[in-house]
Amino acid sequence: MARIYPLFSSSKGNSTFIGSHKGGILIDAGVSFKRLSQAFIKCDMTISAIKGIFITHSHSDHVSGLKMLTKKTGAPVFGQRETLEELIEKELISPDSEVYELDGPAVAADMEINCFDTPHDTVRSCGYRIKTADGRMCAVCTDLGHVTETVNENISGCGLVLLESNYDEKMLREGPYPDYLKKRIRSDHGHLSNVCSAEQAARLIQSGTTHIILGHLSQENNKPYIADKTVEKGLAGFVRNKDYILEVAPVETSGKMAVF
């Protein structure tokens, strides 16, 4: 039985664990080592369960805790070459950890992990498709301005997908952000809106996905209930809790996991 723990999910810090107390992988380390350790305790695990750290991109809300995490655990770090080069240059990875460039499938904690490019305003950005030891598939895909064919191909058919639903268009339009930042968020290399997330969620269900977790919600330009209702409305042709399960990832975990 495969398990995913959305430990932290917002514009201020992101980290997701896939596995169990016996071992698993961490996708991103965007919060402090102390907060991450506390989150593992809430999930009845210890941080030693991390057998590999997979980084999506170099923005601080995804790597701010990486230096201390690698110093304390020595867990290996995986990522795309450009991202790893930037992290090494900025000394955000402890010398105690091995670093592995992803140029094909990686194996960690008895799982096969593949990365795929996502369109975001950084040197390079990716999502991850994970195949567990029992053959189940899930994907983590946030920080994308739009859904490319590459993204769609890689997340389609997964039993569970953690998908970005970053902003509500009305809240962003009427909110306090300066115009240049609003433009960045809306751009093809910014973030995915609730409406676009709903459109992709419908495609996912048609491809066989049964469990969708909405993630990386902006705390300034979105609300969990708005994201939930917008995506549910976009799935009007399907029956919730029969054809699909829909959840919103918490800003910080309460210890709850999802099984897929």
pLDDT attached to residue 2 = 86
**Whole-number pLDDT of residue 248:** 98
Tens of each residue's pLDDT in the chain, 260 residues:
789 999 999 999 999 999 999 999 999 999 999 999 999 999 999 999 999 999 999 999 999 999 999 999 999 999 999 999 999 999 999 999 999 999 999 999 999 999 999 999 999 999 999 999 999 999 999 999 999 999 999 999 999 999 999 999 999 999 999 999 999 999 999 999 999 999 999 999 999 999 999 999 999 999 999 999 999 999 999 999 999 999 999 999 999 999 99
Query: Helices (DSSP H) in 133-247: which residue ranges?
Result: 149-155, 169-174, 179-186, 194-207, 224-234
What's the pTM?
A: 0.97
Q: How far apart are CA 208 and CA 16, in angstroms?
A: 22
Contact 168, 223 (CB under 8 A): yes
**pLDDT for the residue 55:** 99
The counts of H helices and E strands in the chain are 9, 14
pLDDT of residue 1: 78
* Residues 253, 189: Cα–Cα separation, whole Å: 28
Write down the pLDDT at residue 182: 98
Question: How many Cβ atoms sit within 10 Å of the Cβ of residue 254?
Answer: 8
Structure tokens at 28: 């991103």
CA atoms lying within 13 Å on the CB side of residue 119: 17
DSSP 115-154: EEE---SSS--EEEEEE-TTS-EEEEE-S-SS--HHHHHH
Query: What domains are defined for the chain?
Result: 3-259 (3.60.15.10)
Q: How many CB atoms lie within 10 A of CB 60?
A: 12
Q: Which two tokens stand for residue 245?
A: 């399960």
Rounded to whole angstroms, the Cα distance separating 232 from 230 reads 5
Residue 128 CB partners (closer than 8 Å, separation 6+):
27, 54, 56, 113, 114, 115, 116, 139, 140, 141
The partner residues of 163 in beta bridges, in order of sequence, read 141, 214
Q: How is residue 126 written in tokens? A: 């990716």
Task: Give CA–CA dist 163/136, Å, rounded.
Answer: 17
Inter-CA distances, 95 with 64, 71, 138, 183, Å: 16, 8, 31, 38
For residue 256, give the 3-state DSSP assignment.
Answer: coil
